[in-house]
Amino acid sequence: MSEHAVDVGAADFARNVLEESHRRPVVVDFWAPWCGPCRSLKPILEKLAAEYAGRFLLARVNTDENQELAAQFGVRGIPAVKAVIDGEIADEFTGALPESAVRGWLDGLIPGPAELLRRQAAEQLAAGDAPGALATLAEAWRRAPRNERLRLDTAEVLAQMGESAEAQGLLDGIRGEAASSPQAAQLKARLAVASAAQGGASEAELCSRVAANANDLDARLQLAQLAAAAGRYAEALELLLDIIRRDRRFQDDVARKTMLNLFTLMGSDPLVGEYRRKLASALS
């Protein structure tokens, strides 16, 4: 135990957890000596408590010795970790998580200097200041060079600035949970769309080709790619559906694969559900 981690029980829980939580967040670890995952999580929590240097207090509760306290806090499985802020449970998780996941969970509750800079960069990007966001992320990265989310955010900014090759290089180097996150998947899809739309004929030329030959599927595909790159997703999806209806096997099923890529890029856009149904109908 360090000065930032304490064992607590029913007798001192109110003082060390509830009262203390009005001064700083208290992370309560409900554990038991016989619990293997608890033994895995314990050194991670203690390491982070020391690293965060008092920005939160780690309070460890032995559930074998404090069964009523565990029941009072709804503990059904251990390890159970609950963040208490201002006397209330602000967030929680159950089970042993890797250090990166615990760190991310803590940063959502207790933002450190790098996380604060990351949030500042997001605000700058939303306001249209991509160069400023890039500079802010560089400073955050200097403070937390192993934070893969900063690498991912930097790739996102580069992509919005049109620096696709640099963005792709960063994206390819991302490891851990950040690499499999929805943000990474959407960025990968966005870069793929941008890459597919480069170097082809103009939109006017492609429209002329389709007008002259309705079965010019290559022209339709290029039009779909241009529309997708411009954010005209409904138009792009309609063009891709038309290709599927005319020739499902065109270029190794490229139209269907492109639609799936767009679904990833579009995320929760209502058009996704609509066109998933249309795709299923076209394939049946």
Which sequence positions are flagged as catalytic? 35, 38
State the DSSP code for 17: I
Give the distance, in angstroms, between the CA of residue 164 and the centroid of all CA atoms in the same chain.
20
How buried is residue 133: exposed, middle or buried, by Cβ count under 10 Å (0-12/13-18/19+)?
Answer: buried
Q: For the sheet containing 80-85, what is the strand order?
A: 5-7, 57-62, 26-31, 80-85, 88-94
Other beta carbons within 10 angstroms of residue 208's beta carbon come to 14
What does the angle CA 148 – CA 150 – CA 151 come to, to the nearest 5 degrees? 65
What SS3 class is residue 150? Answer: helix
First to last CA, the chain: 62
